Amino acid sequence: MSPLTLALVYLVGLNLVTLGLFWWDKQCAIHRRWRVPESTMLTLCLVGGSFGAKTGQGLFRHKTRKEPFRTSLNAIIVLHLGFLSALVLPGFRGSVVAMLHDASAALFG
């Protein structure tokens, strides 16, 4: 399996799990049962499940007004868009690599 295929399988699977977790947490909220910790939900978003989280947030109308959760999720999405831009846009990728190289040279000599 190629690295790109493996990455896509990982992202699709993680986003489906995150979407399901938002559904599960909404059901638990409705039935007043044990809830999924927000830290768990945000961790799944941070490691790649942000699309599933945003989809679940809109689809199930869950955690749409909850602060600081909403702001944290939006910040993670902006971070992911920045990473995607760095991977896709050659000029941006080159400037990010140059900036990281300069920063590491300044820090480590």
pLDDT tens, 40-90? 999 999 999 999 999 999 999 888 788 899 999 999 999 999 888 877 887
- Mean pLDDT rounded to a whole number for the chain: 89
Separation of alpha carbons 21 and 28, rounded Å: 10
Residue 33 has pLDDT above 80, yes or no: yes
8 Å CB contact between 49 and 73: no
Residue partners of 36: CB distance under 8 A and separation at least 6: 21, 24, 25, 28
Look at residue 86 in the predicted model and tell me its pLDDT.
79
Separation of alpha carbons 34 and 68, rounded Å: 20
Separation of alpha carbons 53 and 83, rounded Å: 18
